[in-house]
Amino acid sequence: MNNTSHKPEQLGPGYSQEDWDEVSDNPKLTAEELAALRPAHEVPEVYDLLPRRGRGRPKVPDAKVNITLRIAPDLLDAYKATGEGWQVRMQEDLRASMDRRLEVAVKRSKHVASLSRPSKQTA
């Protein structure tokens, strides 16, 4: 597992902290200035200008759904044996099968509908 703990910021090559402080646009705040600071939400004219972001990743309109699926071990082994990306291949195969089944169902329904219509009789 990767170590994601905070690491001290590295200074640029050949520059000391004093060099960075000298060119900084942000002067150090005094104790009085720090005490006078307020959270942004208490200053509506500033808070309203801040961008709004939700928590986590942005929502995707066609997001995939996590499920638990019980399948035969030999079928799972066969997909895993195809290497990395086997889950995507399994989804593609399921989608292709669904498309074929839908085509057959549509053809059947058209056939059934044609059988159930009364034939026109000529007089």
pLDDT for the residue 89: 95
Q: What is the mean pLDDT of residues 7-30?
A: 76
Alpha helices by DSSP H, the chain: 17-23, 31-36, 44-47, 73-80, 86-116
**Whole-structure pTM value:** 0.45
- pLDDT of 81 > 80? The answer is yes
> What are the pLDDT digits (tens) for 94-110?
999 999 999 999 888 88
Rounded to 5°, angle at Cα 17 from 15 and 23: 80
Residue pair 75/85 in contact (Cβ under 8 Å)? The answer is no
- pLDDT of 6 > 80? The answer is no
Higher pLDDT, 117 or 64: 64
- Other beta carbons less than 10 A from residue 79's beta carbon: 15
How many Å separate Cα 21 from the centre of its chain?
Answer: 40
